[in-house]
Amino acid sequence: KCRFFPNYMGNLEIYTSQSYLHTSSSVSAKQHYKMLVLGGGSGGIAMSARMKRMMGAENVAVVEPSEMHYYQPIWTLVGAGAKTAASSGRSTASVMPSGVKWVKSKVEEINPDTNTVRTDDGTEISYEYLIVALGLQLHYERIKGLPDGFEHPKIGSNYSIQTVEKTWNALQNFKGGNAVFSFPNTPVKCAGAPQKIMYLSDSYLRKTGKRSKAKIIYNTSLPVLFGVKKYADSLWEIVKQRDLQVNLRQNLIEVRADKQEAVFENLDKPGETTVIEYEMLHVTPPMGPSLAIKGGPLADEVGWLDVDRDTLQHKRYPNVFGIGDCTNLPTVRTAAAVAAQSAILNRTISKTLKKEKPDKKYDGYTSCPLVTSYNTVILAEFDYNLQPLETFPINQAKERRLMYHMKADLMPHLYWHGLLRGLWGGPGPYRKLLHLGMK
């Protein structure tokens, strides 16, 4: 028999005929899980679903502070008025695998030497295995005049839920003048997105009869329009046909929103700046590593999670794994990359639990559906070496209506009901989709 009653501190004391146990509040604040997942974005939710099947829901926890989960690839279309912002989000509770513990906190510190994580409310969580899926950090503040500049009209950004509808407002209210689009001098997620909104804006202005009054300018810090030559060649043709002005090696350093001026630095001639007046400005912010990783023992010299490019296992801590935007994998950061990585990582963890050597390698597969109008997409798929790694037996560098419908209508469905449930993904997720369609 056991007898339960509170002691003078309000803590529970349990008496039995053979033992005496005391559970204090400080001890109860500690938690332990066989698999701890940091981050409830695409990679974190997908892997927590897979880990639930591998080791049981009671052994898995996800640390994620946000109440809402967003399908961010659709924000390109939200910024152009083709989709609603509301359609991009669902509650985190609705996408969290049932039975898996959701820790509604922010990761403050990771200590892989003691196998512990500390959250912003002081809770310490210990683990046997750790998956880091913390995404990356947006740094609007690194552009002088932002983020305060978003309080003014005619400026938006498709990279956050707070600013994506401002892009659509700026586009709708455009009367004439310069429509300016930027690409920062940092790694970014979905490297095609900064120019997708340019093509969509061009289409919208043509449709509404305002194109003749507009000068469309794309200023990118990169030395190329797109990293994969096959697709870049097609994009340059579109740029020429639609009279779009592309300026390479130009980095946005300041926004004077009250004057509607954007200041760009010439990266090939440091200190040389150009001021452009705008009637519409789309800002792609500088981005960087998660602050919970940067400077810690799991980071590389720049601050990204230091994982093996083949297996996604950490280079120094074999019980730590990574997926998605937070890693230093040398590929473009996209949801399609996460889908491909999730199957490889699942295999790596399975082998690690069995004390076996991982036998599947991630080839760097990623995909970027380059939206070029309200009904066309160039489907870019490629690997670590920036070589095309295509799904369909057609020339994917050509604009196609079918690819647009796949991007706009089919992929969101597969995201919510496939990837996040750990049921869809693998090397070349479009290829897997094609095979499923042929069965």
Enzyme catalytic residues: 190, 368
DSSP 81: T
CA distance 137 to 232: 27
> Distance (Å, rounded) from C-alpha 337 to C-alpha 223?
23
Nearest residue to 206 via CA among 219, 216, 220, 195: 216
Pairing outcome for strands 136-138 and 287-289: antiparallel
Residue whose entry in the numeric block shows the structure tokens 């995404």: 135
The letter for the amino acid at 135 is G
| DSSP β-bridge partners for residue 314 | 307
Long-range contacts, stretch 168-171, CB < 8 angstroms, 24+ apart = 168/78, 168/79, 168/80, 168/81, 170/280, 170/281, 170/282, 171/79, 171/80, 171/81, 171/201, 171/204, 171/205, 171/280
Is 201 within 8 Å of 216 (Cβ atoms)? yes
Beta pairing class for 261-266 and 107-111: unpaired
Residue 307 pairs in a beta bridge with 314
Contacts of residue 18, defined as CB under 8 A and 6 or more positions apart, other chains included, come to none
CA dihedral 103, 107, 112, 113 (to 10 degrees): -100
Give the whole-angstrom CA distance, residue 298 versus residue 283: 31
Q: From residue 253, give the alpha-carbon distance in Å to each of 51, 140, 184, 256.
A: 43, 10, 9, 10
CA-nearest of 46, 61, 54, 130 to 351 is 54
CA torsion through residues 390, 370, 228, 322, sign? negative
